[in-house]
Amino acid sequence: MASATLIATVRRLLQAHPPFAQMAPADLDFLAQRLTLVYFADGEILLSPAAGTPEACWIVRQGTVEGLALAGTVAPDESTPRSSGSDARPSAVVHLAPGEIFPVGALLAERAVTNTYRAVGDTFCWRLSLDDFRALTHRSPVFLDFCRRRMAALLDLSRQALQASQAAQATQWRAMSQPLADLLRGPAVTCRPDESLRAVFEAMEAQGVGSVVVTQTVTTGRPPVAGILTRQDVIGRVVLPGLSLDTPVSAVMTTPVLCARAEDTGADAMLQMAQRSVRHLPVTRDGELIGVVSERDLFVLQRRSLRQIGDSIRRARDPASLGLVAADIREWSHNLVAQGVAPGFITRLISRLNDQLTARLLETIAEARGIDLRDLCWLALGSEGREEQTIATDQDNGLIIGPRCRTPMADLLAFADAVNHALDACGYPLCRGGIMAGNPAWCLRAPQWADLFEHWIERGDPGSLLNASIFFDFRALAGDATLAADLSTQVLARARANPRFLKQMSDNALQNRPLALWSGNPLAQLLGREPAAFDLKRHGTMIFVDAARVLALANGIGQTGTAERLDALAAAGVLPATEVRNWIDAFQFLQALRLRAQERRSADLTQANVIDPRELSELDRRILKEAVRQARKLQDRLAMDYPG
């Protein structure tokens, strides 16, 4: 039995790392009492696939352990390793630093490890026997949860740390993750369609509310929502037209009405408000109205609210006015990042606000030039097409010309070019590759777009694959959305029917391999063994984006967002849900790091996604290593589906 002093020392050392810092004191004592310290010389093997099921769990105490895999084999914790050629050489795919646990996946699955674990320099590790490991997972829910969902557990800790550092500001964001049913202040104030404006205004004044929901009775249950009238509607719809207060409310109400579900979160509601420029959302449960949530119920930002930004976009009459709004959107985004709001929400919100701004810009320029947008479809491409725009982003767009359009091509190109340069003036730089609607190559009639995609799919040369990686993420932003929907249906069918093209897309995606992970050892970086700079886009998020795109095309998934594609693949049974959750968590963490980096230096697009891992906290470095490990696992899944 170890001495009390030794146990206290082990406990103190463990508490510097997750999940040990979150474990109950009794469980931590149980662990500390059962650990034995083992020394390994440089290059000594700790575990290998040939040894069978591991007999112990290991925790790095001092030094570094690297995981080696043969080229072409699966990543750590993959359930079924693949064979590789005889000339394959092992390469380090993971570096484990003090406090890290291994091999968790093999222990839980009761299988051999898929990597060879080797000491780098003089290394000390704590050993926990297999029986004690199993006992600890039974007695400590925290430890078991960490072992089962390592990526998500680390992300939870990272979010808690960031929000704790922003505690004063973070209070106002608590509504983000709450269901709307919990945010309602009371039942909705309602009226019938035939009630007079006088009666409606008296009800609003008496109840102190900013909206009244207009309902109509049906025989199958409680009345559904027929319309809504808000205080903001009164001046433009009642006062200025000089309507009598005896006018029925149905004459001025907004209909149809955008509604939210009781189980939707505050973040979901805010995204809907941003997308439709509304301030109130009726909330329903099982088809019944249970209340109304307003923008004010969700939160109020220090300088500019969502409503104010939306109002500014709607009121803008020229590109210069929209340039001021674009600056507000970026400032708003900076505030969200600084306060630890979920990255998936931030990127969708940025994209939707940018959508509104672009749509308004299109309207103003089209009106000035006599262009009818109903005969066109403005396409969002790349990150905007995926609704994954970050703070520092350029523009990628195209234009579909509908069959009814009779506007001369020269006028359409001049219109599109004017929009591109107006967006540039608003802070969305021109695409250096020229992928913009003002370029004749990307301003085409619908059949030409279909032929272009077919050409890329049939040829599969490097240029075609590069274009496919950008253009396959398109969606309609303004104009006739059916033009984009029809094109998407054709493209999905053609891509899915061409296995050779999918294999080429897969091979192209696999060329961008994750960088070797680092241990945080300054000497190793000094010797050039570890990267001092990490491109979060090229070697991080792009890996998930590219793999999700190929798998979505192969399975007829129409979504364009990376997380949405992966979720749809899991729902279709193509990918295991547990793996998908880890991949989405890893992708979103990398997005969060990108946003945080851009929050500090968004003006420099060339360096906006580059970080020095040494500047991260120990926890975030550890999560980054886990995120890159998940990227490797997703690529291995892609390689397994498209071998050779």
Q: Which domains does the chain have, with CATH numbers?
A: 4-148 (2.60.120.10), 179-298 (3.10.580.10), 306-456+468-488 (3.30.460.10), 507-641 (1.20.120)
- Return the minimum-mean-pLDDT range out of 52-56, 448-452, 517-521: 517-521
* 213: CB partners within 8 A, 6+ apart: 188, 189, 190, 191, 225, 227, 228, 257, 282, 289, 292
Q: What is the mean pLDDT of residues 219-226?
A: 66
**613: pLDDT strictly greater than 60:** yes
- At 238, phi and psi to the nearest 5? -120, -55
Q: Could you tell me which residue, 308 or 108, shows the higher pLDDT?
A: 108
- Return the minimum-mean-pLDDT range out of 95-104, 297-306, 623-632: 297-306
- Determine contact, residues 174/244, Cβ cutoff 8 Å: no
Helices (H) and strands (E) in the chain, counts: 26, 18
Beta pairing, strands 90-96 & 56-70: antiparallel
What pLDDT sits at residue 518?
55
Beta pairing, strands 101-102 & 45-47: unpaired
What pLDDT sits at residue 316?
81
Task: Of 5-19, 500-514, 521-535, 619-633, give the range with the top mean pLDDT.
Answer: 500-514
- % of the chain surpassing 90 pLDDT: 45
Burial class (CB in 10 A: 0-12, 13-18, 19+), 302: exposed
What pLDDT sits at residue 168?
41
* pLDDT tens, position by position, 457-492: 998 888 888 888 889 999 999 999 999 999 999 999
- Confidence tier at 303 by pLDDT (50, 70, 90): very low
- Determine contact, residues 430/417, Cβ cutoff 8 Å: no
**79: pLDDT strictly greater than 60:** no
Rounded to the nearest 5 percent, the helix, strand and coil shares of the chain are: 55, 15, 30
What pLDDT sits at residue 333?
78
- % of the chain surpassing 70 pLDDT: 85
* pLDDT tens, position by position, 259-290: 999 999 888 888 888 777 788 999 998 888 99
**444: pLDDT strictly greater than 50:** yes
Q: Which helix (H) or strand (E) holds 489?
A: helix 481-496
Two structure tokens written together for 303:
């300088």
What pLDDT sits at residue 5?
79
Q: According to DSSP H, which parts of 497-608 are helical?
A: 499-510, 522-526, 542-554, 562-571, 577-601
Strand pairing partners for 36?
A: 127
**527: pLDDT strictly greater than 70:** no
Residues in the chain: 644
- From the list 72, 74, 75, 76, the residue with the least C-alpha distance to 85 is 72
- Determine contact, residues 519/95, Cβ cutoff 8 Å: yes
Phi and psi based region of residue 291 (left: phi greater than 0; alpha: psi -120 to 50; beta: remaining): left
**78: pLDDT strictly greater than 50:** no
What pLDDT sits at residue 411?
96
What pLDDT sits at residue 373?
94
The CA R_g of the chain, rounded to the nearest whole Å, is: 28
- From the list 294, 321, 297, the residue with the least C-alpha distance to 309 is 321
> To the nearest whole number, what is the mean pLDDT of the chain?
84
* pLDDT tens, position by position, 376-385: 999 999 988 9
